[in-house]
Structure 1
């Protein structure tokens, strides 16, 4: 049954209908205003679309300025000018939120810099670029969820407060009251994967899109302290199926109707490509070292000129939960590399065999030999002791997806995840307003990157 809303139509809905009406009311901000002798033209923005709606006023008050919030009553009539089929002929105008142009930080034609807008996040969202980015974010979320739901996946709410670190990197935020309140150390989750695997054992195909937190001290445009992660798990053990599903999901989300498959290359073959490239990398590629961001971008942007799956990494480079391949040296995993971003998604076949997982956890120092005491990882190992199914999954940083797709659509211009979320948090930045001050170490790091 098609949902019916009692809410008045948005500007997007009115423009889509293209119909003149006897009477309508529009509420929004003035994006621009142009005064002539007998008539004034104002472009009204309610956030629903990029175009806005032109309003025609015959008696215009001086209080109607850029940024002012207004409620306009009038008739939708056929537009006399190009660009829109209809415009609003205003009968009455009410200022519901005055805006002093002399103090409004967002000036109409001042060319506000990226850093200035980051320091005024509460107003940055009103810029056209950020509005379009937020709408794209919503559209991508809806498209991905529709694909997962149609594929039989169940959405699950996973915990934010946890006692386990899925990656084992030690970059989690600790909850100070955790031990006193919960009886054990507690952290903000860095990944929902280990909990999601418990949901998978019960429900088969599951996913979550939830906030994750990492005490990431890097000042690059690829990392945030708070970000959103799409994670999915399901019953299977085929790396080929895993890569194919991820490719189908993303092609559905971005509207890619081309029939060609994204290439796949093993980690060792990727190293050979990099070594043969004759590029001057800051970190020379080596089979015993992980790929760096510069390597990932070269593979996706220069060599393959598009998305590429790098599969079968050395076991020593990856976390304890990945299933070993028959060679005993590599694990059944992938990283999907895309232009402008590098790594977008990481996934793997999970180690479902109790004995193999126990050895991995011992080597990682997560459990102790002969120690039968319960610890934070006991429940994860217990899943393998009671009817374990072969399963696999992936995790995708949602902001990185926005950077990749947003750049293709002319959005997220800086290529930074900080422009892909409404209220970004990173080292030294949390509030919606910020006075830009970096300490000496951060300034040196920033200057090195710029040079």
Structure 2
């Protein structure tokens, strides 16, 4: 007999059927009722034990967290909440669980406590729902690009280039930390290192993806990236995953079209395929909202926010227009913003981005044509000489979620921008070669996957949407 999953059994109404199932005990009450979960669904299935025909030693070992194998009959549930349950005929305890020390008890735990027990936190309903949604979103990403003619490429994790130009990178070396080889000037001689030069963990696969786009046309990379940024905030990780498509012969307008269609597609996928998990997380959020002051409560529920993205056209607004709107807004004039907008050139904060989405336009927003001095060197300079063809997508509750641009395809302009930033040409000679041999308009964008999972689940701390968060002073598990 094949074993069933909880999700399969809850969808059946073939009463009288003999079944087998494996899972973990969530609760066991009155020496009779087991709430069993196997990770296939947010819901548990009730298993009713015939305690009169079950030995006392077995009953004692049925504790929260124990893994069990059950044989029984699928019957109509006598209680409320689900239509089926299992009348247990035999139960095998596969693994004991010490009720005195098992951390995940059937009660509410703080997220901080669960992070300290990250190896077990997916035994809770909240984190099992989050990780199923993360898996579905990952599948939806690959599905979208595969159906739209993109090729998936694996960009290097070890690199000699800094795509962002920020310098906050983790060094990769096998040199002796206590006694490294030195040059005549007394500096570390990286020519003696494993790769013969200074190398780091990547912060982005974009530059390498551009090289493939200029031969394969449409590519994307979806992989781990790393930042040695000492930021202990709810929005920063030292290791995270990035989705980065790059497309040849596509300008900024096409890039905005692609990003909007992509975001709507992946969010619509989970609305169609993860409804139970979303409804559970929405209920959790609504309960949490009740504890907040009225002014701090969200105006939209979780599913409403997701539909807000899927059902609305994204409003396209230039950075210059956005600055004028913000400068003349009531929160700015009454100094309610934490960062007051006074002049063109300001780097927008989350509070400004959310105002544009939630209060002013009441739809997702794409800002474009940003000041060149607050954006990366590889973005195409506009004819005004002061803005670049960059774009950011802004969502409710989170602000910026996607950042992209039309890339600078003109060799001399790119060289001038690199020189202004003291970036040696020899370090990116291969990137400059793209502008020498068959250069063409091309564009792309980047989406931090964990930022997407945060939006889709309603979680407010990025450490709760990745299996094992890597942050300053923390690389446990």
SS of corresponding position for 2:330? coil
Structure 1 residues 133 and 306, CA, compared in 2 at 3 Å: closer, same or farther?
farther
Structure 1 residues 258 and 340, CA, compared in 2 at 3 Å: closer, same or farther?
closer
- Asked whether the 8 Å contact 1:335–1:345 carries over to 2, the reply is yes
Aligned residue runs from structure 1 range 71-220, under 5 A: 71-109=69-107, 111-177=108-174, 179=190, 180-220=193-233
Question: RMSD of the TM alignment (CA)?
Answer: 1.9
- Asked whether the 8 Å contact 1:313–1:331 carries over to 2, the reply is yes
- Asked whether the 8 Å contact 2:251–2:441 carries over to 1, the reply is no
The answer to whether the aligner puts 1:382 opposite 2:380 as a matched pair is: no
The answer to whether the aligner puts 1:330 opposite 2:387 as a matched pair is: yes
Task: Kindly state the Cα deviation for residue 103 of structure 1 after the two structures are TM-superposed.
Answer: 0.9
Partner of residue 271, structure 1: 323
- Asked whether the 8 Å contact 1:216–1:225 carries over to 2, the reply is yes
Give the aligned length: 411
- Asked whether the 8 Å contact 2:2–2:20 carries over to 1, the reply is no
* 1: CA distance, partners of 2:409 / 2:16: 63
Aligned residue runs from structure 1 range 37-56, under 5 A: 40-56=32-48
Task: Kindly state the Cα deviation for residue 258 of structure 1 after the two structures are TM-superposed.
Answer: 5.6
Partner of residue 448, structure 1: none
Structure 1 alignment gaps of length 5 or more:
1-5, 369-374, 433-451
* 1: CA distance, partners of 2:476 / 2:17: 45
Over 6 Å off, 4+ runs = none
- Farther-moved stretch of structure 1 (80-89 vs 394-403): 80-89
Task: Kindly state the Cα deviation for residue 14 of structure 1 after the two structures are TM-superposed.
Answer: 2.8
Task: Kindly state the Cα deviation for residue 304 of structure 1 after the two structures are TM-superposed.
Answer: 3.0
* 2: CA distance, partners of 1:277 / 1:268: 14
Task: Kindly state the Cα deviation for residue 259 of structure 1 after the two structures are TM-superposed.
Answer: 5.2
* 2: CA distance, partners of 1:404 / 1:242: 22
Partner of residue 68, structure 2: 70
* 2: CA distance, partners of 1:387 / 1:83: 64
1:150-183 Cα deviation digits (max 9, x unpaired)? 1101111111111111110111111132741000
The answer to whether the aligner puts 1:32 opposite 2:77 as a matched pair is: no
SS of corresponding position for 2:105? coil
Partner of residue 290, structure 1: 347
- Asked whether the 8 Å contact 1:27–1:72 carries over to 2, the reply is yes
1:25-84 Cα deviation digits (max 9, x unpaired)? 211111122216xxx111111111001211111025111111111111222223233332
- Farther-moved stretch of structure 1 (255-264 vs 207-216): 255-264
- Asked whether the 8 Å contact 2:25–2:36 carries over to 1, the reply is yes
- Asked whether the 8 Å contact 1:189–1:212 carries over to 2, the reply is yes
Structure 2 alignment gaps of length 5 or more:
176-189, 269-306
* 2: CA distance, partners of 1:96 / 1:304: 56
* 2: CA distance, partners of 1:341 / 1:211: 22
- Asked whether the 8 Å contact 1:340–1:403 carries over to 2, the reply is no
The answer to whether the aligner puts 1:229 opposite 2:242 as a matched pair is: yes
* 1: CA distance, partners of 2:203 / 2:65: 39
- Asked whether the 8 Å contact 1:231–1:395 carries over to 2, the reply is yes
SS of corresponding position for 1:281? coil
SS of corresponding position for 2:430? helix
Partner of residue 372, structure 2: 315
* 2: CA distance, partners of 1:151 / 1:21: 46
Partner of residue 3, structure 1: none
Partner of residue 281, structure 1: 337
- Farther-moved stretch of structure 1 (128-137 vs 327-336): 327-336
Structure 1 residues 318 and 145, CA, compared in 2 at 3 Å: closer, same or farther?
same
- Asked whether the 8 Å contact 2:312–2:363 carries over to 1, the reply is no
* 1: CA distance, partners of 2:146 / 2:337: 42
Structure 1 residues 304 and 97, CA, compared in 2 at 3 Å: closer, same or farther?
farther
- Farther-moved stretch of structure 1 (352-361 vs 223-232): 352-361
- Asked whether the 8 Å contact 2:313–2:364 carries over to 1, the reply is no
Structure 1 residues 9 and 356, CA, compared in 2 at 3 Å: closer, same or farther?
farther
